[in-house]
Chain A
């Protein structure tokens, strides 16, 4: 259900897709994230998504203007995953709340893969 604001001169409706895109952009700018994973592939190798489909690895439900977000992400090998995930939660919550004015109830992070980069 999209979020609705009522103002004196009309109402504002924010679709879930909008929140998903904002959350996707915020996450991909977050340090430690090397990609978003498609949520359709729950087993096997997580599919790395390109930039065009930023909202693909993001599930958004809006209930009474309160937002719940689930994100499916791929992290870089050798980072502290728990801390990276915490940073993503903070960053996504902040971005979505400040850009949409909606209240973010929770952000769940699912680490779908770890990317090992070329040997260094």
Chain B
């Protein structure tokens, strides 16, 4: 029989296929993530870990099962992300170990490799929690071993492994109460089932290529831009919270099931989140009302959203310049991402270089503005409306805009949090802590924390005569300003930058970022940085083109 042994080539195809299928379904896996920390990133983490394993396997020159196994083991170890990723890497480590010295595997060998993977994985934990990916993996290997004993083929062993994993997955809520309360199965376990499914498809001869399904099913509600409107059978994306005491999630789920698709009812008996695509939002609300109080009700017309997305995509393709958008104060970013984010970021900034920096750090919408050109509340509201998801983080990046930003919250139906960044460097520090997959509150607290750990300053010029302490300031003088006071006055921006930095540096400072404005050349900025570097060889200094007006330099110290 053709498939009585597993070769290195086949194993590699299995891994490619598994990685592709997992990538397609990662949103579904993310949506299940409530344990150990409900941050909705299990699918993403597992997918990234799988991709690292595949990359390493692709580099294999020889195709003995032993070499591919070692590559998978190494790749997944180095690329392990998150809890589930680390566990996955240990499964592969055990798997790879038992392939050592082999050119191909018999079905019995494969089952033994699974078993060895599970044993290795269990060794790296002090108190294994049952009802997680570990339980699912254990049942997977048991089922595979039973099949192998009965004289199965490679395909049979994988089928048995997947079946065993699926059975165990369904039971995870019985083993782990937090899953039962939330009405979900374990996310990591689900990820493992998806991986086995991908492997099985490869053995059956259909290696799944990355991006095979353009419109992957995503219970989170996002839909792919290439999907046709006709494919949207249910028009209204309806989301709400139901608060009650002793809520029967299962019952509510049953009641809502007939009303639409992509349904998700998760939470606790006190608070449930309901998400459903339906043609009758009223009926959904009425049904939920029978179970408790409704909060944060949101109904979106998906056809309209789709049209807007399509229009935005076409607009950005038609014109690389976002001048039209800039006129309204809102710049839609090219290559609009439809990928599901938990929370989008809207930031206020001015200057081409800063725009680039903010975009590269994950900002979805830029609102033009800054010192002396504060955006109006309306412009901020428009910016929020242009964000690709319901939850939005707003970075004002200027003390004078924080108030307008807070007002904007009142005027939008989206859930918006302001991370009160007083200036650009602080905004960038906050963005470095931003994680698109984490939820709004987690992001905000992380971003504020990151911001608090950064000191910032600005080098600008005086617009009028003034007195600061004992110092006379004349119009046109160059000023170095920390967050709250003027600490340096001079005539040369680079010299003032040096004095300012001395004030900002603390004992534990390691990292300095300098953003130079439109009135400074790259050479000048590099020269200024070199002087500082000479004085402080221990510092790591980065110089970026900010292109901002009014400020010669913006600087942050971590």
Q: Which residues of A line the B interface, CB within 8 A? A: 26, 28-35, 75-76, 78-80, 83-84, 87, 90-91, 94-95, 117, 120
Contact = CB atoms under 8 A, between A and B. Distances in A.
Contacts of B82: 83, 87
Contacts of A117: 123
B476 to A, nearest CB: 44
Interface stretch (B85-93, B420-428, B532-540): B85-93
B89 A29 contact: no
Contacts of A84: 86
Given A79-B89, A90-B37, A28 B120 contact: no
Contacts of B124: 31-32, 34, 75-76, 78-79
B94 A32 contact: no
28 contacts: A26-B36, A29-B127, A29-B129, A30-B36, A30-B83, A33-B126, A34-B125, A35-B126, A76-B123, A78-B90, A78-B93, A78-B120, A78-B124, A79-B77, A79-B86, A79-B90, A80-B78, A80-B80, A83-B80, A83-B82, A83-B85, A84-B86, A87-B86, A94-B37, A120-B94, A120-B97, A120-B119, A120-B120
B37 to A, nearest CB: 4
Nearest to A78: B93
Contacts of A87: 82-83, 86
Interface in B1-57: 36-39
A79 B94 CA distance: 12
Secondary structure of the B side of the interface?
helix
A29 B77 contact: no
A64 B210 CA distance: 51
Interface string B55-91: 0000000000000000000000110111101110110
A31 B125 CA distance: 5
A90 B81 CA distance: 13
B153 interface: no
A94 B33 CA distance: 14
B449 to A, nearest CB: 8
Nearest to B77: A80
A29 B119 contact: no
Contacts of A31: 83, 86-87, 124-125, 134
B238 interface: no
Interface string B163-203: 00000000000000000000000000000000000000000
Given A79-B124, A80-B77, 5 more contacts: A28-B126, A29-B36, A29-B126, A30-B83, A87-B86
